[in-house]
Amino acid sequence: MEEKREQLSEVNQNEQLAREQEPVSEAIQQPAAEQENAPQEAAEQVTEEQASAEQASEEQAQQIFDADQAKKKDEDYRYRWSYEEQRASDLAGNSKKPTRRWGILIYALTMTAAFGLCFCILIGVLVIGLIMMPASNQPVQGGFTGDVTVVGGGDEQTIEISALESVRNYTVVIAAKGNEKSSTGTGFVLTEDGYIATNYHVIADMHTITVKFYNGTAAIAEVVGYSEIDDVAVIKVNASGLYTAKLGSSAKVKDAQNVYAVGTPAGEEYAWSVTKGIVSFAQREVKIYDDEGILVKKMKLIQTDTPVNPGNSGGPLVNSDGEVLGIITLKLSGQYENMGFAIPIDGAMVLINNIIETGEPGESPITTKRPLIGIVGVGVEAGKYYVNVPEENKIKEITPEDAAANPDVAFYAPYTGVWVQSTTPGLDASNKLKPNDIIVMADGKELKSIYDLMNVINEHVGGETVQITYYRNGVANIVDVELGYAE
């Protein structure tokens, strides 16, 4: 830039010298009168021309400087981009590209909507969390507080860890030994001074019963009393200050509510295991049969799909608050899965309180003994011959030829039904039926075997009556027979 200024200055000086020489040569030719004024006029002309030349020179220098600065700014722009310059450029170009402005607007609206949706979801999660939060988490002795979430059946329900610890604190392992066998089961503490509930079959025929507590201590227990038909027993240890069970109400149990079992499945190694399920049927009538298929009793139980095993016998079935709803008693095995049953705690406590007070369970609110009609009989088919075999307490079919050879012991069945062999003294049937009668109908249902008659009887309870249609000496008769109870 300085070199350009020096070149421009030299050009101005040369032009000035040229102008100074031209007026001098013209002045030589002028008249003498005019030559006198020439120096003054030439000086003024040189001064004006010099000022004009300097102004032109400065303008030309300024133009060169501005051009150089513009070039430098253009170069700097490539490396020193700013938002204001870009925005100015964008605004200038918006008239040529209107769609770009709408694209930016749509993008901004989309992002705003996305952020708003995320914010709403976050608020919803927080609100649901506040609704699901338990009212309080009160600690219990020996336990800790918090929540454990369990999932099933499509919705959630929580059981407080403190409640779970409380259940374990009052649940005990029962190890019983007999002369020829031993058993392991579960129980739960009823009172601070050591009364414990369990199943009768856990302690039946056992001479040594050891109770083990969750805190690692153990004690020997004695049998207080039991109800064999209800499978309920009470044992006691000498202790004080024990954790006691919190009892609920089986009358309030609802189908599909969450329940938990605490027990000793597969031996003491897995003691105090917790399993979870639902109530499958709140008041299920369960018929219990012996090995020969004869009904022994009927019980009203809580059915659950909570996994239970033999070591769970006598243990508590609890709700989400750790309240005992029932006493685990049995399960269906073989091809069946998740079909466990518990004795309702309301009925069980009637028996337990009677046992603690008197040593006897009293009348059962849970179990109905097998109803009895009071006969010994066997199914027969019309048109066939049979012979009585007293030593085997049954009859068997024989051929007509054998019947003809043994007329004293053989008999012919003219009807299909149940042939009466004998009656039980003291029951109503002994007053209305006799040996050799053939019962053909019960409550209007035709009979083809003794099992058909048993099925009809089992629909009743002791004290009710059943209508019997029978043949005696070829004559049909109808009587009402009052049923008794099996001992």
Show the DSSP H helices in 171-272 as ranges. Answer: 200-203
Q: Please, what is the average pLDDT of the chain?
A: 80
Measure the CA–CA gap between 214 and 170, rounded to whole angstroms.
8
pLDDT at 487 over 50: yes
Residue with token string 């685990």: 328
Measure the CA–CA gap between 425 and 376, rounded to whole angstroms.
12
Measure the CA–CA gap between 377 and 299, rounded to whole angstroms.
26
- The 8-class DSSP code of residue 365 comes to S
Measure the CA–CA gap between 367 and 353, rounded to whole angstroms.
17
**286 vs 98, higher pLDDT:** 286
Measure the CA–CA gap between 303 and 289, rounded to whole angstroms.
18
- The 8-class DSSP code of residue 416 comes to S
**280 vs 54, higher pLDDT:** 280
Residue with token string 């009348």: 363
118 CB-near residues (< 8 Å, 6+ apart)? none
Read off the pLDDT of each residue in 35-53 and give the average, rounded to a whole number: 52
Tens digits of per-residue pLDDT, 359-412? 999 999 999 988 999 999 999 999 999 988 877 777 889 999 998 888 888 889
Measure the CA–CA gap between 28 and 37, rounded to whole angstroms.
12
Q: What is the pLDDT of residue 59?
A: 66
Q: What share of the chain is helix, strand, coil (3-state, %, to 5)?
A: 35, 35, 30
φ, ψ for residue 129 (rounded to 5)?
A: -60, -40
CB half-sphere exposure, 92, CA atoms < 13 A: 6
Q: What is the pLDDT of residue 154?
A: 37
Show the DSSP H helices in 368-443 as ranges. Answer: 400-405, 429-432
Read off the pLDDT of each residue in 101-109 and give the average, rounded to a whole number: 72
Q: What is the pLDDT of residue 62?
A: 67
317: helix, strand or coil: strand
pTM of the model: 0.62
Q: What is the pLDDT of residue 103?
A: 67
CB half-sphere exposure, 37, CA atoms < 13 A: 6
How many beta carbons lie within 10 A of that of residue 183, not counting itself?
21
With contact defined as beta carbons under 8 Å apart, do 227 and 366 qualify? Answer: no
Residue with token string 């053989």: 410
**For the chain, which residues make up each domain, given as ranges?**
2-79, 159-364, 371-485
Indicate the length of the chain as a whole number. 487
pLDDT at 440 over 50: yes
Q: What is the CATH code for 159-364?
A: 2.40.10.120
309: helix, strand or coil: coil
306 CB-near residues (< 8 Å, 6+ apart)? 259, 260, 261, 275, 276, 277, 278, 317, 338, 340
Which CATH architecture best describes the domain 371-485?
A: Roll (2.30)
Tens digits of per-residue pLDDT, 288-325? 988 888 888 999 999 999 999 989 999 999 999 999 99
**321 vs 95, higher pLDDT:** 321
Most distant CA atoms of the chain, gap in Å:
199
Question: Which CB contacts under 8 angstroms, 24+ apart, belong to 188-191?
Answer: 188/245, 188/314, 188/315, 188/316, 188/324, 189/242, 189/243, 189/244, 189/245, 190/234, 190/244, 190/245, 190/352, 191/242, 191/244
- The 8-class DSSP code of residue 239 comes to -
End-to-end CA distance of the chain: 130
φ, ψ for residue 78 (rounded to 5)?
A: -65, -25
Q: Which of 272, 348, 259 is nearest to 305 (CA)?
A: 259
φ, ψ for residue 279 (rounded to 5)?
A: -80, 115
pLDDT at 158 over 90: no
- Per the structure block, which two tokens stand in for 301? 């139980």
Highest mean pLDDT among 60-69, 241-250, 292-301: 241-250
Q: pLDDT band at 133, cuts 50/70/90?
A: very low
With 0-12 CB in 10 A as exposed, 13-18 as middle and 19+ as buried, what is 387?
middle
Q: What is the pLDDT of residue 140?
A: 32
Q: pLDDT band at 99, cuts 50/70/90?
A: low
**β-bridge partners, 274:** 262
Question: Out of 126-140, 151-165, 359-373, which region has the weakest mean confidence (pLDDT)?
Answer: 126-140
